């Protein structure tokens, strides 16, 4: 591993690789470690008053180029080994949910096996983020959703700097959060249209069903059970099943709620096409305060959005642009670059990102 050295921002050059993540005054990530510096990033870092950076000591051009090509890009499909284990987890959770709904009690080891498989990817942030936004098979939505919520809850746990044992529990809570849906008729769960009031009341029972299904196994930590029971509670008391508010909602339930909301909003369903992550950041930042815990939500948005710096996007006027800066005021409206022109989507309100390409 190359040595980390501290370099004055004035002496930093494009192609140097950042060795320690840089945060702004609000605690949000400005640039991640292992980012390859370019002229614009250097300019931005200088503008926000960063004087020094930790970078890796320069290596030969060949090894630098190898490192650069190893970097994962936003919007890029995860590699085959990641996708294979993701698909296997999806199949395993499908079997597990069926077993649990049929009263099979020997399922605890299977939960831990899948949780361990998800947890083993805890260093692969970019693959996880890219995986969530891939097009999914709509018939298998529920199973992909469980794995995705589990992976996202793991990332949030890391970003909140929780202990590894807590993060592992969050992985389990994410896997099991919707297990109660296995007791609700498939015709309602898979209905490709808006639910009637009566159907919606039935769906709302899933958090209680899930709680009882897992509680009777007598092996899961109470915080996992509470996350299952309370993941639809909302900060303003408008959620279910108990209408709890703010301080009454346990942290794990708040984390699963944020992960659950993001995955549901990014998914393609029979009745809705998938949204770009930027659109979802926008919706979450502007309409979820009051519903989701502000600290958990902001930690999530400030961290995940920065993975999209460098992504190439298509605008509603057909032009192709590069995302060069994520603004913490509006995570869904970054600064873009087309040729020599910089476009701030917070200012140019008529322009929208239509797709990541
Ligand atoms: Fe749910
Ligand atoms: Fe869910």
Q: How far is the CA of 209 from the centre of ligand 2 (A)?
A: 14
Helix (H, G, I), strand (E, B) or coil at 164: helix
pLDDT at 71: 57
The stretch 97-112 carries a mean pLDDT of 79
For residue 228, the ligand closest to its alpha carbon is 1
- What average pLDDT does the chain have? 86
What distance in angstroms lies between residue 119's CA and the mean position of ligand 1's atoms? Answer: 21
Q: 260 C-alpha vs ligand 2 centroid, how far in Å?
A: 5
- Judged by its nearest atom, the ligand closest to the C-alpha of residue 206 is 1
6-17 pLDDT, tens per residue? 898 888 887 788
CB neighbour burial string for 126-148, b if at least 16 within 10 angstroms, e if fewer: bbbbbbbbbebeeeebbbbbbbb
Q: Among the bound ligands, name the one nearest to the CA of residue 208.
A: 1
- Calculate how far, in angstroms, residue 204's C-alpha sits from the geometric centre of ligand 1: 8
pLDDT at 240: 95
Mean pLDDT (whole number) for 65-85:
68
pLDDT in tens, 21-74: 887 776 666 777 777 777 667 777 777 788 889 888 875 455 544 444 445 677
**Residue 69 alpha carbon to ligand 2 centre in Å:** 36
CA distances from 264 to 10, 89, 145, 355 (A): 44, 19, 8, 18
State the distance from the centre of ligand 1 to the C-alpha of 178, rounded, in angstroms.
5
Query: Greater confidence, 203 or 59?
Result: 203
pLDDT at residue 252 in the model: 98
For residue 201, how far is its CA from the centre of ligand 2 (angstroms)? 16
> For residue 264, which ligand has an atom nearest its CA?
2
- Ligand at shortest distance from the CA of 146: 2
Is the predicted pLDDT of residue 201 greater than 80, yes or no?
yes
Share of the chain above pLDDT 90, in %: 46
The answer to whether residue 5 scores a pLDDT higher than 70 is: yes
* CA 33 to ligand 2 centroid distance, Å: 32
Q: 178: CA distance to ligand 2 center in Å? A: 5
Q: What percent of the chain has pLDDT over 70?
A: 88
Residues lining ion ligand 1 (Cβ < 5 A) are: 178
Q: How far apart are CA 132 and CA 142, in angstroms?
A: 13
CB distance 333 to 345 below 8 Å: yes
**For residue 69, what pLDDT is reported?**
44
Domains of the chain by start residue, with CATH: 4-70 (3.90.105.10), 80-270 (1.10.3210.10), 275-357 (no CATH)
Dihedral sign from CA coordinates of 298, 304, 310, 314: negative
Is pLDDT at 271 greater than 80 in this prediction? Answer: no
Q: pLDDT value at position 127? A: 86
Which has more confidence, 49 or 152? Answer: 152
Q: How far is the CA of 71 from the centre of ligand 2 (A)?
A: 31
Average pLDDT over residues 203-219: 92
- Residue 91, sorted as left (phi over 0), alpha (psi -120 to 50) or beta, turns out to be alpha
Give the pLDDT mean for 133-144: 76
Residue 152 makes CB contacts below 8 A (sequence gap 6+) with 128, 132, 174, 258, 259, 262, 263, 300
Q: How far is the CA of 177 from the centre of ligand 1 (A)?
A: 6
| Confidence category of residue 268, pLDDT binned at 50, 70, 90 | low
**Tens-place pLDDT, residues 170-195:** 999 999 999 999 888 888 887 777 88
The most confident of 138-142, 173-177, 184-188, 305-309, by mean pLDDT: 173-177
Res 68: pLDDT: 43
Cβ(186)–Cβ(268) under 8 Å?
Answer: no
Q: What is the pLDDT of residue 202?
A: 93
For the segment 318-342, the average pLDDT, to the nearest whole number, is 91
* Better-predicted residue by pLDDT, 41 or 273: 41
What pLDDT does 122 receive? 86
Give 202 Cα–ligand 1 centroid separation in angstroms.
Answer: 12
What pLDDT was estimated at residue 64? 46
User: Could you tell me which residue, 62 or 144, shows the higher pLDDT?
Assistant: 144
Residue 303 to residues 21, 158, 298: CA-CA distances in angstroms? 11, 10, 8
Expressed in angstroms and rounded, the spacing between residue 177 Cα and the centre of ligand 2 is: 6
How far is 25 from 36, CA to CA, in rounded Å? Answer: 22
Neighbouring residues of the ion ligand 2, judged by CB less than 5 Å: 178, 260
CA of 356 to the centre of ligand 1 (A): 28
215: left (phi over 0), alpha (psi -120 to 50) or beta: alpha
Any residues with CB less than 8 A from the CB of 271 and at least 6 apart, and which?
192, 193, 194
CA of 227 to the centre of ligand 2 (A): 11
Q: Which of 48-62, 138-152, 195-209, 257-271 has the lowest mean pLDDT?
A: 48-62
Contact criterion met (CB below 8 Å) for 338 and 319: yes
Instruction: Calculate how far, in angstroms, residue 55's C-alpha sits from the geometric centre of ligand 1.
Output: 43
How many angstroms is it from 207 CA to the middle of ligand 1?
6
**Range scoring the smallest mean pLDDT among 152-161, 247-256, 257-266, 320-329:** 320-329
């Amino acid at each position: 591993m190359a040595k980390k050295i501290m370099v004055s921002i004035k002496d930093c050059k494009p192609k140097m690789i950042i060795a320690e993540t840089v945060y702004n005054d609000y605690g949000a990530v400005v640039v991640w470690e292992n980012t390859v510096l370019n002229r614009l990033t250097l300019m931005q870092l200088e503008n926000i008053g960063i004087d020094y950076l930790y970078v890796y000591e320069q290596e030969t051009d060949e090894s630098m180029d190898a490192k650069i090509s190893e970097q994962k890009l936003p919007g890029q499909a995860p590699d085959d080994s990641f996708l294979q284990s993701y698909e296997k987890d999806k199949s395993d959770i499908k079997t597990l949910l069926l077993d649990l709904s049929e009263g099979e009690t020997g399922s605890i080891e299977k939960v831990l096996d899948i949780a361990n498989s998800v947890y083993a990817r805890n260093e692969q942030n970019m693959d996880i983020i890219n995986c969530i936004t891939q097009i999914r098979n709509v018939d298998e939505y529920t199973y992909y959703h469980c794995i995705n919520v589990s992976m996202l809850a793991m990332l949030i746990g890391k970003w909140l700097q929780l202990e590894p044992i807590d993060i592992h529990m969050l992985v389990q809570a994410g896997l099991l959060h919707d297990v109660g849906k296995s007791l609700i008729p498939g015709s309602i769960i898979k209905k490709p249209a808006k639910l009637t009031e009566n159907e919606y009341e039935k769906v709302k029972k899933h958090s209680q069903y899930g709680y009882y299904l897992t509680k009777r196994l007598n092996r899961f930590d109470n915080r996992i059970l509470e996350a299952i029971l309370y993941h639809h509670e909302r900060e303003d008391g408008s959620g279910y099943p108990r209408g709890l508010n703010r301080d009454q909602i346990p942290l794990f339930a708040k984390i699963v709620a944020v992960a659950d909301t993001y995955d549901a909003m990014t998914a393609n369903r029979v009745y809705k096409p998938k949204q770009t992550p930027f659109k979802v950041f926008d919706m979450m930042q502007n309409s979820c305060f009051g519903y989701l815990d502000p600290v958990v939500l902001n930690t999530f948005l400030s961290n995940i959005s920065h993975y999209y710096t460098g992504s190439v996007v298509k605008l509603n006027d057909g032009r192709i642009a590069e995302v060069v800066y994520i603004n913490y005021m509006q995570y869904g409206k970054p600064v873009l670059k087309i040729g020599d022109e910089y476009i701030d989507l917070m200012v140019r309100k008529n322009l929208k990102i239509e797709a990541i390409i």
